Amino acid sequence: MSWPGLESKPSPIAGTGLFATQVFTSGQKLLPYLGKVIDSPPRSAPGQPTFILEIKPGVWIDGQTENNLARFANHSCAPNAELVFDEEQKEAWLIARQTIPVGEEITFDYGFSLAESLFHPCQCGQANCVGKIIASPLRPALLRHLRFSRPRD
C-alpha cells in the first residue's frame, strides 16, 4: 500500500513508522485512517499489534486492514499531525498540525486515558515526554499520580 508523499519504514520510536517523502503544510490532509467503523471495541489477540482507534465515545475504527497505511503513524507527546473524524462522511483523516519536512516521521497523540496509559510506555523521545502514551490534557494528572506513587525516602 502506498499513498502520495508517504512511506512506511522502520521507526526510531517503535516498530514501523510513517514518514513524509514530500513537504506537507499545516492543515493539509495527509491520508485517511481506513478501517471498519464499529460501535464496540474488538478483541485483539495477545502479543499482536492493534490498530484500533476510539475516535469518539462508543465509536471505534478497526484499522487492521492491509490498505491502511495510516496504521503505521506512531504516538508522540509532541505530534506533528492529528486525527480528525468527519462525522458526516464517517471518515478519519490524519491532518498536519504544522509544516512537516521530507523525512520526518508522522506522529499523532493517541489520546489514551489515564488507566490505559499505565500499560503503554511511550518511546517518542520528546523533551516533554512523560514516559507513557496518554492524551495531552491528562499528562499533568499522570505526573501527579507518578509523583505520589513513588517510594518516599
- Provide the CATH number for the domain formed by 6-110 in this structure: 2.170.270.10
Q: Is the predicted pLDDT of residue 140 greater than 80, yes or no?
A: no
pLDDT of residue 79: 94
Q: Give per-residue pLDDT as tens, 34-56.
A: 888 888 776 766 666 677 777 77
Q: Is the predicted pLDDT of residue 66 greater than 70, yes or no?
A: yes
Residue 116: which pLDDT band, with cuts at 50, 70 and 90? confident
Tell me the pLDDT of the chain averaged across its residues.
Answer: 83
> 103 to each of 10, 20, 86, 135, how far by Cα in Å?
12, 5, 28, 25
Task: Measure the CA–CA gap between 24 and 30, rounded to whole angstroms.
Answer: 8
Provide the CB-side half-sphere exposure for 147 (13 A, CA). 7
Other residues' Cβ atoms within 10 Å of the Cβ of residue 26: 11
Residue 27: which pLDDT band, with cuts at 50, 70 and 90? very high
Q: Is the predicted pLDDT of residue 148 greater than 70, yes or no?
A: no
Residue 1: which pLDDT band, with cuts at 50, 70 and 90? low
CA dihedral 115→112→52→15, nearest 10 degrees, is -100
Q: Is the predicted pLDDT of residue 81 greater than 90, yes or no?
A: yes
